[in-house]
Amino acid sequence: MPTLNMRLSQPDTLIDINKIPDLQGITLEDGIVKIGALSRHVDIAQSPIINEHLSLISQAMHHVAHVAVRNRGTIGGSIALADPAAELPACAVALGATLVVESINGRREIAAEDFFKGLYETARKPNELLVEIMIPREKSEDVSVVMELAQRHGDFAIAGLACLATFENESFEKLRLVYFGSEDKPTLARKTTDAVIGRTWSEKCRTAAIDALADDLDPMENLQGSASMKLHLQKVLTGRVLDTVIDHVGIE
Amino acid sequence: MDEISMEISLTVNGEQITKTVPVRQHLVDFLRIELGLTGSHLGCEHGVCGACSIRVDGAVVRGCLMLAVQADGTEVFTIEGLTETGEIADLQNNFVERNAMQCGYCTPGMLVTAAELLRDLKPRSREDIRNHLSGNFCRCTGYHAIVDAVEKTVNKRLKDS
């Protein structure tokens, strides 16, 4: 709608999918949370299934937009639009979501990691519709944290980070860090996590992770900040997020 | 290019309306231009400023981010309708009392958004109120007076309930 209002897009045909009942609803089946693409932010924020099984999404909803937008905006819309500063695409990557797209030729499942291609670009073909988001529920040992910096509460992030981690025997066994509001798509940081996974947690380990982020992340400059400022903010968030996980599991 | 139009039926401020609208007209342009309901304002027209906030089927939405044709079959309330029903008369009086508006451009959106917070009546901190109104820009007041007015209304309603 913003691009229509600004006359930036002039589609010949626009199809309103809002009233398709099959695209709505949130269910849990065999350990997978299935979220219909038309589930509104307000419904996701209030869903007992999401709050119980997908803490990362539940936390992220506090940052997603403002009340008037949450009442109408949908998870499918957020993911299909692929705004690089949006929370839900990053959460989908962090949680290893599978995105289901459908066309007249049938259904296709795409891993979230392969779905986001670039600035507002996804692996969805023009004749396909994103119909469902399937997310494996978080395990009891998982710790999830989402943090972001924004100009106003609810605005798109200047810098943000979604994290899913497992910490056992004094070290991170699993760590997925997905950065948003930086590159042209949600970015999974591998070198940063390699600096931490399987190593006994220490201040040195924390520093190594933060230092490694420069090798993972090459933020784009925009009106909200330069590339170097964004990298700095993401480093700060990395430290805070790792500290939060450690606090959560109760290690000194 | 001929503009394509569609007929829509909806209720606006309690009144049943049937009109033929251009398919690309957004809802607030429809309310302002076709129905003369100029209380809903257009600031940014891309969902950021909140001046166009209206109530559709009981929920506050951005009027500029909906097409008029999408409102077919819905129940719409604008600031004019909410004023008429008296639902937010106390809030409006508190806005006046606290001088919570200067130019007044954001005020209808602020009131419609705050009305949703007031419907679910429970104690609210100033931070709750700020978070709830965070999608509505005001360039005059600095927000304190607006938060004061909403806070006063919440507290008075809680006291009276």
The answer to whether A154 faces chain B, any CB pair under 8 Å, is yes
- In the prediction, which pLDDT does A224 show? 87
Confidence class for position A251, pLDDT limits 50, 70, 90? low
Mean pLDDT taken over chain A = 95
Q: Which chain B residues are Cβ-neighbours of A45 within 8 angstroms?
A: none
A224 or A54: which carries more pLDDT confidence? A54
Residues of chain B with CATH 1.10.150.120: 86-160
> How many beta carbons lie within 10 A of that of residue B102, not counting itself?
14
B141 or B2: which carries more pLDDT confidence? B141
- In the prediction, which pLDDT does A189 show? 97
Residue A252 has pLDDT above 60, yes or no: no
Q: Does the beta-carbon distance from B113 to A18 stay under 8 Å?
A: no
Confidence class for position A10, pLDDT limits 50, 70, 90? confident
Looking at residue A108, its amino acid is: R
CA distance A79 to chain B (A): 18
For chain A, which residues make up each domain, given as ranges? 21-136, 142-249
Q: Which chain A residues are Cβ-neighbours of B60 within 8 angstroms?
A: 67-68, 71
The answer to whether A20 faces chain B, any CB pair under 8 Å, is no
Please give the CATH number for the structural domain made up of A142-249.
3.30.390.50
Helix (H) / strand (E) element for B153: namely helix B144-160
For B132, which residue in chain A has the nearest alpha carbon? A67
Q: Does the beta-carbon distance from B26 to A5 stay under 8 Å?
A: yes
CA distance B61 to chain A (A): 4
Average of per-residue pLDDT across A135-153: 94
Residues B89-130 have pLDDT tens digits of 999 999 999 999 999 999 999 999 999 999 999 999 999 999
Average of per-residue pLDDT across A42-46: 96
Residue A202 has pLDDT above 70, yes or no: yes
**B52 contacts B135 by C-beta, under 8 angstroms:** no
Whole-number Å distance between alpha carbons of A224 and B146: 27
pTM tops 0.95, yes or no: no
Q: Kindly provide the ipTM of the predicted complex, given to two decimals.
A: 0.90
CATH level 2 (architecture), domain B86-160: Orthogonal Bundle (1.10)
Interface residue of A41, A67, A78, A156 to substitute, partner B, most B CBs within 10 Å? A67
CATH level 2 (architecture), domain B5-82: Roll (3.10)
Residues of chain B with CATH 3.10.20.30: 5-82
Confidence class for position A9, pLDDT limits 50, 70, 90? confident
Average of per-residue pLDDT across B9-32: 97
Of A5, A16, A65, nearest to B64 by CB-CB distance is: A5
**CATH 3.30.465.10, domain A21-136, yes or no:** yes
Residue A107 has pLDDT above 70, yes or no: yes
